[in-house]
Amino acid sequence: MSPVVILETVRRHVTHIGYLTFLALLVLAAFATSVFDRPAAAWPGLLVLLAFVTGCGVVGPEFSSGTLQLILVKPVNRAVYLVSRVTGVVLVVWLAGIVAALCELAGRALWGDSGLQARAIGTALLNCATDTILTVSFLALLGSLTRAYFNIGIYLVGLIGLGLSSVVFAFIRQTDNAVGRFLKAHTGIERGLMVIDRNLYPDLPVPPRFDTGWTLMVLSNAAIALLLACLAFRRREVPYGAD
Amino acid sequence: MSVRVRALRKAFGAHEVLRGIDLDIAPGEVVGLIGPNGAGKTTLMSCLLGFLRPNAGEIAIAGRPNDDLDVRRRTGFVPERMNFDRGATGWNFLRYMARLAEVKDADAKSRAMLERIGLAGAADKRLSQYSRGMLQRIGMSQALIHEPDYLFLDEPTSGLDPNGVLLVRDLIAEQKARGAAVLLNSHQLAEIEKVCDRVLFLHRGVIERAETLRQVDRIVVAITMLPGFDVQHIPNAQLRDNVLIATVESEQDIARLVKELVDGGAGIVDVRKHTTDLESIFRGAA
């Protein structure tokens, strides 16, 4: 990994007004929900959103803007660059997560009446941190295959499409037409889509708990996504300008 | 040779943009690349820099593939348009580029480079506040900060004011004097004439013509004379529209040649060191 790229990625984000605004929102949410009985009630969801927003720009937009060409003539291996960018973005999200968790703990210490719940908050932070690796790696993979912000589109279509698929399939199964009969006879299709959904867009364990199986699944999927992203990025042509 | 390209071909689908390019650039040589829009200049540059993968052919820089990290360590590139995180300041940008290029003492060198290109006063301004000319200057500086041996410049004077153009000209001359091999892609023929040793005319994906503008050991001189003088007795010379074009080895030779002509009764109107007229090449070949 390249410390130079990681540091620059972190610097670029933490000095961005959008990131600072989001961080302020996280702090507010963490303090506001620290009076709830349930620990980590709001900020993990916001952190997932932050991972998505920051992960979108890992590499896709750099293809289109021409930024990447300046980097790729420097003595940095493409795969190293990509992994370093992913690491930088993940660190930025983790930093926001740590701030949010500390704010909730501070709030609970100051005015909470359901205990500090440090263990649950720590577990929620750990789960968010794990999920962030997958989200950013998956977006980096999509970014390595597309231009500009198309990775967002693909990610969202997958997220919404797979999320709705079980409802749509259940509805179609009720019908007596050929498709309905086909789906009734081939339940593996629906199960397969649910497995894909669970693997690419895993839900955070609620209430916060450490689940070894979930953690290993998320981390292994992230590793596969990152490996595929590196392979795609190494082969990717990066045209610039026009003749 | 620093840069060696053989039988390079590149196609986008069925459209073949480069159709067998051969190119050599020696250390300390500045080679200009000219041609009409769509000739394949940017594609050639992109292949040389490893942004595009050729369909066929060979690219070697110092005998190594162009994606070799050691080659990249010694390569500089100025894009036609500088695109980078516009929120970064000039200082942040240049220091990042210097660190990526593994420049030792990147901070001090970045500071010195900003001074050199006249942007020290704008170091803390964001790139979004930079004018086109300022972006070109900082683009040039990021390419030179690690003193590259192979320099690829795509329209480096585009958007620059006359002072900026002179600065770029000086910087290219410095790189040449250092022994860097330079490929300059430009539409500005006057600039090419001023800084390049050789020029390649790219047309429809092939190098249609190559002209030597300057040679270390030879000078081309153009002497305009009154009509009616025969020059057949002068070696390495030809007469075109009362202009005698002769190749000599030194400036003393020019003086000797002029004296010989005057002694022979020629009426001399003008004497100047001659470079190939790129505009006429461009007009003739395009």
Handedness of CA A74, A76, A82, A86 (dihedral sign): negative
Question: What integer pLDDT is reported at residue A173 of this predicted model?
Answer: 81
Q: Do residues A231 and A65 touch, judged by C-beta distance below 8 A?
A: no
* B279: enclosing H helix or E strand: helix B278-285
Q: Does A71 touch chain B (CB under 8 A)?
A: yes
The residue of chain B with its CA nearest to that of A5 is: B100
Q: In the sheet that B237-240 helps form, which strands lie side by side, from edge to edge? A: B237-240, B243-248, B219-225, B268-273
**Closest alpha carbon to B80 in B119, B117, B33, B114:** B33
Q: Are B81 and A73 within 8 A, CB to CB?
A: no
- pLDDT tops 60 at residue A242: no
Domain match, B149 and B244 both: no
Domain boundary among B212, B232, B262: B212
Out of B212, B237, B254, pick the residue that ends a domain. Answer: B212
Does B112 share its domain with B168?
yes
DSSP state for residue B128 in the 8-state scheme: G
Q: Is A20 on the interface with B (CB under 8 A)?
A: no
Sign of the Cα pseudo-torsion (A221, A224, A228, A229, in order)? positive
Checking if the pLDDT of A241 tops 60, the result is no
The domain of B238 spans 219-283
Mean pLDDT in residue range A33-55: 88
Contact yes or no for B224/B243 (Cβ under 8 A): yes
* Contact in structure between B150 and B99 (CB atoms under 8 Å): no
Element (H, E) at B97: helix B90-100
- Cis (ω within 30 of 0) for the bond into B54? no
Same domain, B119 and B71: yes
Of residues B218 and A170, more confidence is placed in: A170
Length of chain A equals: 243
Is the pLDDT at B283 greater than 70? The verdict is: no
pLDDT at A103 over 90: yes
What residue spans of B101-158 are helical by DSSP H?
106-116, 132-144
Which value does ipTM take for this structure? 0.82
Q: Which of B169, B193, B212 is the last residue of a domain?
A: B212
**Is residue B226 predicted with pLDDT exceeding 60?**
yes
Same domain, B206 and B90: yes
Residues B22 and B103 in one domain: yes
Instruction: Please say if the pLDDT value at position A166 is more than 90.
Output: no
The CATH number assigned to the domain holding B159 equals: 3.40.50.300
**Predicted local confidence at residue B285, as pLDDT:** 53
pLDDT, position A29: 92
Alpha helices in B28-75 (DSSP H): 41-49, 69-73
pLDDT (tens digit per residue) in B38-51 = 888 889 999 999 99
Both tokens assigned to B231: 């020059």
Q: How far is B255 from chain A, CA to nearest CA, in Å?
A: 44
The residue of B47, B83, B107 whose CB has the most chain A CBs within 10 angstroms, and thus the best one to mutate to test that interface, is B83
Which pLDDT tens digit goes with each residue over A73-99?
Answer: 999 999 999 999 999 999 999 999 999
| Least Cα separation, residue B263 to chain A (angstroms) | 52
**Which residues contact residue B169 at a Cβ distance below 8 angstroms, ignoring those fewer than 6 apart?**
B191, B194, B195
Q: What percent of chain B has pLDDT over 90?
A: 28
Question: B152 and B39, same structural domain?
Answer: yes
Quote the DSSP letter at residue A138. Answer: H
- How many angstroms away from the CA of B32 is the closest CA of chain A? 15
Give chain B's mean pLDDT: 85
Q: What value does the mean pLDDT take over residues A16-30?
A: 93
CA distance B25 to B33: 12
pLDDT-wise least confident of A138-142, B44-48, B271-275: B271-275
Residue A180 included in any domain: no
DSSP-based three-state secondary structure for B78: strand
Query: Is residue A242 one of the residues assigned to a domain?
Result: no
Instruction: State what percent of residues in chain A have pLDDT above 90.
Output: 46
A3/chain B closest Cα distance in angstroms: 10
Q: Chains A and B: how many Cβ contacts under 8 Å?
A: 85
Contact criterion met (CB < 8 Å) for B101 and A8: no
Tracing tokens 């305009």 back to the chain, one arrives at B224
Helix intervals (H) in chain A: 3-14, 17-32, 43-55, 60-65, 67-72, 78-111, 118-145, 150-174, 178-185, 187-200, 212-235
Give the number of domains in chain A. 1
**Alpha-carbon gap, residue A107 to A112, rounded angstroms:** 6
Is there a single domain that holds both residue B182 and residue B86? yes
Query: Once rounded to an integer, what is the mean pLDDT over residues B160-168?
Result: 84
Q: Residue B217: pLDDT above 70?
A: no
- Tracing tokens 């972190």 back to the chain, one arrives at A10
Residues of the domain holding A11: 3-149+207-235
pLDDT of residue A243: 36
d(CA B185, CA A210): 59
Residue B7 and residue B118 in one domain: yes
Whether A213 has its CB under 8 Å from any CB of chain B: the answer is no
Provide the pLDDT for residue A92: 96
The structural domain count of chain B equals 2
If asked whether residues B150 and B275 sit together in one domain, one would say: no
